[in-house]
Chains A and B, each alone.
Chain A
Amino acid sequence: MSPMARTAPVPAATDPALIRNFCIIAHIDHGKSTLADRMLQYTGVVKSRDMKAQYLDRMDIERERGITIKSQAVRMPWELDGISYALNMIDTPGHVDFTYEVSRSLAACEGAVLLVDAAQGIEAQTLANLYLAMENNLNIIPVLNKIDLPAAQPEKYAAELANLIGGDPEDVLRVSGKTGVGVEALLDKIVRDLPAPVGDPDGPARAMIFDSVYDTYRGVVTYVRVVDGMLHPRERIQMMSTRATHELLEIGVSSPEPTPTKGLGVGEVGYLITGVKDVRQSKVGDTVTNMAKPASESLAGYADAKPMVFSGLYPLDGTDYPVLRDALEKLMLNDAALVYEPETSAALGFGFRVGFLGLLHLEITRERLEREYNLDLISTAPNVEYEVTLEDKRVVHVTNPSEYPTGKIAEVREPMVSATILAPNEFVGAIMELCQSRRGVMGGMDYLSEDRVEIRYRLPLAEIVFDFFDILKSKTRGYGSLDWKADGDQVADLVKVDIMLQGEQVDAFSAITHREKAYAYGVMMTSKLRELIPRQQFEVPIQAAIGSRIIARESIRAIRKDVLAKCYGGDITRKRKLLEKQKEGKKRMKMVGRVEVPQEAFIAALTTDESKDKAKK
Chain B
Amino acid sequence: MPSVLPLGDPAPADGLLPPQVLDGVDSRRFGLYVHIPFCAVRCGYCDFNTYTATELGGGASQDAYASTAISEVEFAVQAMDASGLPRRPLSTVFFGGGTPTLLPAEDLARILTAAVGHWGLEDGAEVTTEANPDSVTPESLQLLAEAGFTRISFGMQSAVPHVLKVLDRTHTPSRVPMVVQWARDAGLAVSLDLIYGTPGESMADWQTSLETALSYEPDHISAYALIVEEGTKLAAQIRRGEVPGIDDDDHAAKYELADQLISAAGLDWYEVSNWSRTPEQACRHNLAYWRGDDWWGIGPGAHSHMGGVRWWNVKHPTAYAGRLGSGASPAAGRETLDAATREVERIMLEARLGTGLHVDALDKVGRHAVAGLIADGLVEPAAAFQGRLVLTIKGRLLADAVVRRILPD
Residues of A with Cβ closer than 8 Å to B? 537-538, 559-577, 579-580, 582-583, 586
Contact = CB atoms under 8 A, between A and B. Distances in A.
B51 to A, nearest CB: 17
Given A565-B255, A569-B96, A572-B305, A537 B401 contact: yes
Interface stretch (B117-125, B170-178, B233-241, B296-304): B296-304
Nearest to A575: B348
A537 B345 CA distance: 23
A135 to B, nearest CB: 63
Given A561-B397, A565-B224, A566-B227, A571 B248 contact: no
Contact of B376 (A538, A565, A573): A538
Given A566-B227, A571-B312, A576 B344 contact: yes
Contacts of A567: 193, 222, 224, 273, 286
B84 interface: no
A221 B89 CA distance: 84
Nearest to B403: A579
Nearest to A576: B345
Given A537-B398, A569-B289, A574 B4 contact: yes
A566 B195 CA distance: 9
B149 interface: no
20 contacts: A560-B252, A560-B253, A561-B397, A561-B398, A562-B401, A564-B227, A565-B224, A565-B273, A566-B273, A567-B273, A568-B1, A570-B295, A572-B345, A573-B303, A574-B4, A575-B348, A576-B348, A579-B404, A582-B400, A583-B404
Given A583-B407, A586-B404, A562 B397 contact: yes
Interface centre among A570, A580, A586, by most chain B C-beta atoms within 10 angstroms, is A570
Interface centre among B222, B224, B310, B401, by most chain A C-beta atoms within 10 angstroms, is B401
B398 A563 contact: yes
A206 B286 CA distance: 90
A571 B6 contact: yes
Interface in B249-283: 249, 251-253, 255, 272-273
A569 B33 contact: yes
Q: Is the interface of B mostly helix, strand, loop or mixed?
A: mixed
Contacts of A560: 248-249, 252-253, 397-398
Contacts of A563: 272, 396-401
Nearest to A580: B344
Contacts of A573: 6, 8, 303, 310, 312, 335
B225 interface: yes
Interface residues of B, number: 49
Interface in B158-181: none
A568 B301 CA distance: 12
A583 B251 CA distance: 23
A580 B335 CA distance: 15
Nearest to B344: A576
B12 interface: no
B218 to A, nearest CB: 16
Given A570-B302, A571-B1, A579-B407, 7 more contacts: A538-B376, A562-B400, A563-B397, A569-B96, A570-B303, A573-B335, A574-B4
Contacts of B310: 572-573
Contacts of B295: 570
Contacts of B349: 572
B221 interface: no
A566 to B, nearest CB: 5
A561 B289 contact: no
Nearest to B397: A561
Interface of B: 1-2, 4, 6, 8, 33, 35, 96, 193, 222-225, 227, 248-249, 251-253, 255, 272-273, 286, 289, 295, 297, 302-305, 310, 312, 335, 341, 344-345, 348-349, 376, 378, 396-401, 403-404, 407
Nearest to B195: A566
Interface centre among A559, A561, A565, A576, by most chain B C-beta atoms within 10 angstroms, is A565
B108 to A, nearest CB: 17
A116 B341 CA distance: 70
Contacts of B297: 569-570
Contacts of B252: 560-561
Contacts of B407: 579, 583
A572 B251 contact: no
A32 B6 CA distance: 60
A162 B141 CA distance: 103
Nearest to B229: A566
Nearest to A573: B6
Interface centre among B8, B222, B223, B404, by most chain A C-beta atoms within 10 angstroms, is B404
B273 A570 contact: no
Contact of A577 (B6, B33, B225, B227): B6
Contact of A574 (B6, B249, B273): B6
A537 B405 CA distance: 11
Top-4 shortest CB links A-B: A560-B252, A570-B303, A563-B399, A573-B6
A566 B1 CA distance: 11
A60 B146 CA distance: 79
Given A576-B344, A583-B404, A570 B6 contact: no
B301 to A, nearest CB: 9
A571 to B, nearest CB: 5
A401 to B, nearest CB: 32
Given A560-B252, A565-B255, A570 B400 contact: no
Given A537-B376, A576-B341, A561 B404 contact: no
Contacts of B396: 563
A537 B273 contact: no
B5 to A, nearest CB: 8
A568 B2 contact: yes
Nearest to B408: A583
B399 to A, nearest CB: 4
A336 to B, nearest CB: 45
Contact of B224 (A562, A566, A577): A566
Given A570-B303, A573-B310, A564 B335 contact: no
B163 to A, nearest CB: 17
Nearest to B153: A567
Nearest to A578: B400
Nearest to B222: A567
B183 to A, nearest CB: 19
Contacts of A538: 376
Nearest to B273: A565
A579 B403 CA distance: 9
